[in-house]
Amino acid sequence: MDTENLIQWDLDLIKRYDLSGPRYTSYPTALQFDPELSAEALVATGTQSSDQSAPLSLYVHIPFCAHVCYYCACNKVITRNRKKAQPYLDTLYKEMRQLSEWYSNDRIVDQLHWGGGTPTFISDEQMAELMGQLRSNFNLLTDDSGDYSIEIDPREATADTVKVLREIGFNRISLGVQDVQLKVQEAVNRVQSIEETMAVLETARAEGFRSLNMDLIYGLPYQSLDSFADTLDCVIEMNPDRLSVFNYAHMPDRFRSQKHIDATTLPSPETKLAILEMTIRKLLKAGYQYIGMDHFAKPDDELALAQGNGQLHRNFQGYTTHKECDLVAMGVSAISQIGNVYYQNQHDMAAYSQSVEAASHAINRGVQLNNDDLIRRAVITQLICHFELQPQQIAQRFGINFGDYFRRELEELSSFVADGLLEMSDSDIKVTPAGRLLIRRICMTFDAYIPKQAPSRGFSRII
């Protein structure tokens, strides 16, 4: 095993640095998005600052779920009425046509992702129609070389549905599993048998999907070190290409569905840390590579390869191999990144529909990045994706003296060096195995918008 990829577990350091902080799917983060900025200004700045010949990444948000999972913090609409989907899709197509006029320019779509909610809530015919609309409005690849993925709830996807997804162009799937223990599943209102999950995996493999991701969550009710070890053993046997192991953040005041979870049944903070340590050790031993934060991949997976060759990137969908793409997102609450602009659609379904009907778009708030934002984004992205930074590369790219520009930040980093989280020289800043789990805290040093020495409101805990 590559010793550079090992994680060093230091409980004292973790407890000392485990504040709340951003996940850095963007910099600046969504807390800086301003509703006073006009959609016209955001679109104009985005198109003027983007590379109009570079490929695109598309995201489609399907918010519907037939059942509520109590832990969920996503923007969703809980309904069993499948008829609600078509009016939403019709509105989505109208927004899509506007986005195509703004951004398509016949640019190749290298990456496509449908998220939710539960994208397979819509019927097979509606999924085929949605993909057809995307192909009509954007230049989707036809040779299966794109990175086209969809999130699947195994309870909502038959073998026929998986076949349809492959036929219309998807080649990657992500399965929500969370935990295989029945007692945990019942406590979070997501009872999902191993057989249901395996049926989707086996069909996907038979149909030629080239990458399978599975999502797990630790910190759920009734989980213990032993029970989650059993879940991991089961999942490792299923042999997904990628794994995301998320930390459950219990915030019932922010997310209404979490009020159904009895806080007294949640594992203690000490148990959660023990579960995380065990998870990392078990997955590394099973041959997975630690990509960063809560993501793992097999060494031959494209994520691991991209990290190895310095091409890994991070956006609102997490780690990605497509750093050169503008992200064009559509649907309620979806977030786009176009050139030097981020913006988010209306979060409320009624407001989203009204906005699209009135203006052909749903842009609600956003941010235009200044030069300081661009410099800091480059630093944070490099650190969180590759655990290493060459200051001179940043200096040359942006025409700055790195030492002068980040004098205060470098002084703060010296404490990380003393604690063994970083190694620093004139030519290199390298995150140590002990620092990798705390990469969000290290990145916070370069964040101009949040306090550094106290927990930050609005963010989850780092670990």
> How much is the pLDDT for 269?
87
CATH code (residue 179): 3.80.30.20
Please tell me whether residues 21 and 48 are part of one structural domain.
no
Do 214 and 129 sit in the same domain of this protein?
yes
pLDDT band per the 50, 70, 90 thresholds, residue 457:
low
Supply the range of the domain harboring residue 263. 42-330
* pLDDT tens, residue by residue, 147-181: 999 999 999 899 999 999 999 999 999 999 999 99
Question: Which ranges constitute the DSSP H helices of 83-193?
Answer: 85-103, 124-137, 159-168, 182-187
Give the three-class secondary structure for 211: strand
Concatenating the DSSP letter of every residue in 29-92 gives -GGG-BTTS-HHHHHHHHHHHS-TTS-EEEEEEE-EESS--TT--S--EE-S-GGGHHHHHHHH
Number of separate domains in the chain: 2
3-state DSSP call for residue 331? coil
Of 330, 356, 391, the residue at which a domain comes to its end is: 330
Clarify whether residues 24 and 46 are in a common domain. no
Rounded CA-CA distance 116/77 in Å is: 9
Answer yes or no: do 122 and 260 share one domain.
yes
pTM of the full structure:
0.93
Beta bridge partners of 327: 57, 337
pLDDT digits (tens, 9 = 90+) for 286-310: 999 999 888 999 999 999 999 998 8
Tokens 């089961």, located at residue: 234
Are both 22 and 55 inside the same structural domain? no
Asked if 129 and 245 sit in the same domain, the reply is yes
Domain end, chosen from 330, 353, 388, is at 330
359 within some domain: no
Q: Which of 304, 330, 356 is the last residue of a domain?
A: 330
Task: Note whether residue 177 is domain-resident.
Answer: yes
Q: What is the CATH number of the domain that holds 17?
A: 1.10.10.920
* Residues 101 and 195 both lie in one domain: yes
Residue 380 domain flag:
yes
Predicted confidence (pLDDT) per residue in 133-149, tens digit: 999 999 999 999 999 99
Same domain, 313 and 374: no
